[in-house]
Structure 1
Amino acid sequence: MGSGKHRWKISFHRSSPTALKPERKQPPKEFVCPISGSLMADPVIVASGHTLERICVQVCKDLSFTPVLPDGSKPDLSTVIPNVAIKLTILNWCCDNGIERPTPPELSSAEKLVRALIPPREEKSPTKGETEQEEEKDELLKGVADKPPVKFSYAATEINRRPTHFYTSSEESMPTAIPGTPLPFATRPSCYSSSSSSFDNFADEILSPMSPEEEEIVVKLKSLQVFEQEEAVISLRKITRTNADMRVSLCTPRLLSGLKYLLTTRYSAIQINSVASLVNLSLEKINKVKIVRAGTVPPLIDVLKGGFSEAQEHAAGALFSLALDDENKMAIGVLGALPPLLHMLRSESERARHDSALALYHLSLVQSNRSKLVKLGSVPTLLVMAKGGDLASRALLILCNLAACAEGRTVLLDANAVECFVGMLKKNELSSGSTRENCVAALYALSQGSLRFKGLAKEAGAAEVLRDVEVTGSERAREKAKRILQMMRGTGRDEDDEEEEEVDWEGMLDSGTLSRTRRRFFCGKNESVANSSEF
């Protein structure tokens, strides 16, 4: 009797509330801001790929301070994009564990925490040079303001830690806390209505009932059994190959979430079919922004860097297809797709080369991506490709876009691009009339706002070639050749009088005689090239 009571006492002691505190309520590392050490309420992704709390990023920028994260890396805070995907994941986790939604920390608390991280010698007002550098970085986002219909604050993407070895340096570690006192674990009532209608719509979509087809595929995508994952992606690829309606109905946050984590698997059949399925889903215009917001761009970039060769082909095609939507262009560039796409121009796969070139063309329609491509040293490589090979016409298209910005013109003129383009026209080795048009268009772009162009064009013998284009070229090429010749002559008179004329270019600019109107032009007969490939 006594021993029985003793056993009951022990049993009762073990079931005390302190002993049964559930470990699952500890937030995953990916949900915690490395700066604040708290669950993120308004996560954003910065240019370096880190996901941080928005208020912490803003305070760091206001104080001109770049923190060193616990993993030793320094985030690039120049660009900020809302990370709706990880925000939604945090919301679902809170709902599953009975935890109220986190609320952004107070500005004063965030500022106090960040100031505590600043060494005394670094806490100072930004110098003139630092201010100018920040202004230059901010110009990468100015193009968005010119397009009111494009609300880029909702074009959210994410970089989460993925279950493969395809990690970038910015994703190595997302610790739950940092030395010092973390911000309070602030929450708001679960009945709180977010001001972000985009986020609410996204949440409603993921909580809506699944169709039988979606449910069957999603269950297998998230299965721990490899053969079920393979069955799911093969089935999804077949269904979306030709059925446009199914592409739309199956492109849901739930399915994209399951598909995203299989993009970088080390099982070749799963990876190849996963990326091909994503290409098929991206063929529908209504799906393109959804796919980018689901956080699929970072794993696609990882596939380009080290995936299976066939998967790399499909990844290049997927980025090309997604880049056709204006709302995706800047996000894809910010997330780091430009360097691997440039590298893929040298791929052994013809399809990978061509789709990468088309992706770069559409991405380079955005000013921020043009600047990045120039800084990546793409001009010499593209000039070599433009002289010959299967990518000549597409390399010219990209060069035309780069020549439309001041940085691109400067680098192209330094790289003897004028002599290159004139030489191509002289040899008449261009493969098509459209390629010849683009070559003239590139010269026309270089002639805009550049006092150096006239001298370089004379040295290259451009006048004779352009006169020939005026006679034998297409209507578009003739018009551009005519304008270049008029600019070279200065007054529009015959070139026979040109040698006797001294043109005061600086005076003309000061007086406004020389038009400095910047024209947006399109390189090629079509403004965009539709991706109609199916896989």
Structure 2
Amino acid sequence: MGSGKHRWKISFYRSSPTALKPETKQPPKEFVCPISGSLMADPVIVASGHTLERICVQVCTDLGFTPILTSGSKPNFSTVISNVAIKLTILNWCHANGVERPTPPELSSVEKLVRSLIPPQEEKSPIKGKTGQEEEKEQDEVLKGVAEKPPVKFSYAATELNGRPSHLYTSSEESVNTGIPSTPLPFATRPSCYSSSSSSLDNVADETLNLMSPEEEEIFFKIKSLQVFEQEEAVISLRKITRTNPEMRVSLCNPRLLSGLKSLMTTRYSSIQINAMASLVNLSLEKINKVKIVRAGIVPPLIDVLKGGFSEAQEHAAGALFSLALDDDNKMAIGVLGALPPLLHMLRSESERARHDSALALYHLSLVQSNRSKLVKLGSVPTLLAMAKGGDLASRSLLILCNLAICAEGRTALLDATAVECFVEMLRKNELNSESTRENCVAALYALSQGSLRFKGLAKEAGAAEVLRDVEVRGSERAKEKAKRILQTMRGSERDEEDEEEEVDWEGMLDSETLSRTRLRFIGC
């Protein structure tokens, strides 16, 4: 009767008008394309880490236009990868909220939208559209400027824009320039045929240079130099500055310097690669720099260094990915760009530092559902279980396994790999090297016990109750609390089983003659 009433109440609630009233919900901002402003139907992640609608990226690329997003950053369209994880998340959200699945916007409407974002002067050609009178007028102005100034020899330092260091200028170039008896136009102005709006990247570069200190300028120009020894001087100097002067890390983390640093990360010269990677780690220590670095397209070369860089450079690459993964906005992008397989491989590195930083990077990346699914599909569970049984990565491997146990596919993979028996045996033998590792082991068991019917049977077979009671008595406060909850779950399951065994088959008894007589006697009383 009680269960019938309960069902009647539920059906009554569901049939009420208020329960069926649709709720309008706004989609999360990460589901909306920052260019089109609509729910994404075919999301892709670009090299800068932004997730955008594919057709918007295609139109921007075709028009040669890079928009400035609402965050003030510019996307990098050099690499485009389908973002399957966010697409599935969007579809699940639509299904859960009764929203129609998004469809890609029409090409014509996107082109119209993107063209409206392009400043009018950028659509004009710097030469097309000029009349013959305008061209003659410009030529007269140029000739007039030359006539007013006598022919003199200009040194490199006197004419170069923004005081570029003179040591980058070769003697052969100087002899050619100074040997011509002509007067160049002042470098403060540009030829009239040059339109400042025709190259927005150059404008950004000039603004960046104007904001640089002389020391920063020297580092930048050395990085861009073709001379290997100057590149080496630059990255050594940059590494020292970013290590000893934390306040300069933000100003140095600008698009031009990151671009130059990116070009040196995969060099074949060990000293340049190692110092460039170390400089990047130092820059990534500032929270405000983390998203900038990922959006500058640094993650792909970091992955290349992990796969085939010099040993010390690989250590710094793992450290950089760990540092960048601390920012929630970077976690999904780093996983989508392919950092998980090389990080898993680095867990077996001969370098202790590389192993530990890779494990920490994987832990923070596995806090995101899409990365948890990828790690399970990569077959990481057996590897992490083997490392959890012993070695210097036991505690950190257990932390990653705790994150994997949160998702359904992770729990299934762990239970299939006899993780329950493994964790119980580790606690029973007391082979764990620290109390924190012991806590993590109990936490992993607790994660597996949530929402899994298989866990109860496997825990009973492994003798988990006895081990957990011992933890409940002698463990830390955190371990005691987790062990207590697991035991409650197991005792609850046992009571449920007993209730099921003692449950009377009333329908069967009603059909029996014995019950009929018993009922008659009770009625007679």
Give TM-score scaled by structure 1 length.
0.59
Please state if 1:275 is matched with 2:265.
Answer: no
Question: 1:139, 1:368 within 8 Å by CA — same for their partners in 2?
Answer: no
Q: Which runs of 5+ in 1 are unaligned?
A: 1-43, 61-81, 91-132, 146-182, 194-199, 506-535
Q: Where is the helix percentage greater, Structure 1 or Structure 2?
A: 2
Question: 1:143, 1:367 within 8 Å by CA — same for their partners in 2?
Answer: no
Query: Matches of residues 437-476 of structure 1 in structure 2 within 5 Å?
Result: 437-476=439-478
Please state if 1:252 is matched with 2:254.
Answer: yes
Pair 1:410–1:269, CA change in 2 (3 A) = same
Pair 1:337–1:211, CA change in 2 (3 A) = same
Query: Matches of residues 515-534 of structure 1 in structure 2 within 5 Å?
Result: none
Question: 2:47, 2:76 within 8 Å by CA — same for their partners in 1?
Answer: no
- Cα distance in 2 for partners of 1:402, 1:408 equals 5
| Counterpart residue type for residue 226 of structure 1 | V
Return the match for 1:328 from 327, 330, 333: 330
Query: Matches of residues 283-362 of structure 1 in structure 2 within 5 Å?
Result: 283-362=285-364
Deviation at residue 246 of structure 1 after TM alignment:
1.5
- Cα distance in 2 for partners of 1:504, 1:222 equals 81
Pair 1:225–1:201, CA change in 2 (3 A) = closer
Select the structure with the greater relative contact order (CA < 8 A; seq sep ≥ 6).
1
- Cα distance in 2 for partners of 1:315, 1:135 equals 26
- Cα distance in 1 for partners of 2:236, 2:267 equals 15
Deviation at residue 289 of structure 1 after TM alignment:
1.1
Deviation at residue 49 of structure 1 after TM alignment:
7.2
- Cα distance in 1 for partners of 2:83, 2:316 equals 37
Pair 1:414–1:389, CA change in 2 (3 A) = same
| Counterpart residue type for residue 399 of structure 2 | L
Question: 2:266, 2:309 within 8 Å by CA — same for their partners in 1?
Answer: yes
The aligned counterpart of 2:28 is none
Please state if 1:139 is matched with 2:82.
Answer: no
Query: Matches of residues 77-476 of structure 1 in structure 2 within 5 Å?
Result: 84-86=74-76, 138-139=87-88, 188-191=118-121, 207-208=207-208, 209=210, 210-476=212-478
- Cα distance in 2 for partners of 1:84, 1:338 equals 26
| Counterpart residue type for residue 207 of structure 1 | E
3-state SS of paired residue (1:346):
coil
Deviation at residue 144 of structure 1 after TM alignment:
12
1:41-95: CA deviation from partner (whole Å, max 9, x where unpaired): xxx99469799996654799xxxxxxxxxxxxxxxxxxxxx993536x99xxxxx
- Cα distance in 1 for partners of 2:451, 2:489 equals 11
| Counterpart residue type for residue 259 of structure 1 | L
| Counterpart residue type for residue 360 of structure 1 | L
Deviation at residue 249 of structure 1 after TM alignment:
1.8
Deviation at residue 338 of structure 1 after TM alignment:
0.2
Question: 2:402, 2:443 within 8 Å by CA — same for their partners in 1?
Answer: yes
Question: 2:48, 2:296 within 8 Å by CA — same for their partners in 1?
Answer: no
Q: Which runs of 4+ in 1 moved over 2 A?
A: 44-60, 82-87, 133-145, 186-193, 200-208, 497-505
3-state SS of paired residue (1:264):
coil
| Counterpart residue type for residue 362 of structure 1 | H
Deviation at residue 369 of structure 1 after TM alignment:
0.6
Question: 1:220, 1:229 within 8 Å by CA — same for their partners in 2?
Answer: yes
| Counterpart residue type for residue 265 of structure 1 | T
Question: 1:320, 1:358 within 8 Å by CA — same for their partners in 2?
Answer: yes
Question: 1:45, 1:83 within 8 Å by CA — same for their partners in 2?
Answer: no
- Cα distance in 2 for partners of 1:454, 1:277 equals 50
Deviation at residue 284 of structure 1 after TM alignment:
1.3
Question: 1:143, 1:366 within 8 Å by CA — same for their partners in 2?
Answer: no
Pair 1:202–1:264, CA change in 2 (3 A) = same
**Identity percentage over the alignment?**
75
1:83-116: CA deviation from partner (whole Å, max 9, x where unpaired): 93536x99xxxxxxxxxxxxxxxxxxxxxxxxxx
The aligned counterpart of 1:175 is none
Question: 1:264, 1:302 within 8 Å by CA — same for their partners in 2?
Answer: yes
CA-based RMSD of the aligned residues comes to 3.8
- Cα distance in 2 for partners of 1:239, 1:59 equals 38
Aligned residue pairs, count: 350
Deviation at residue 503 of structure 1 after TM alignment:
7.2
| Counterpart residue type for residue 437 of structure 1 | E
Deviation at residue 266 of structure 1 after TM alignment:
0.7
1:174-218: CA deviation from partner (whole Å, max 9, x where unpaired): xxxxxxxxx99x97444479xxxxxx9998687342221221111
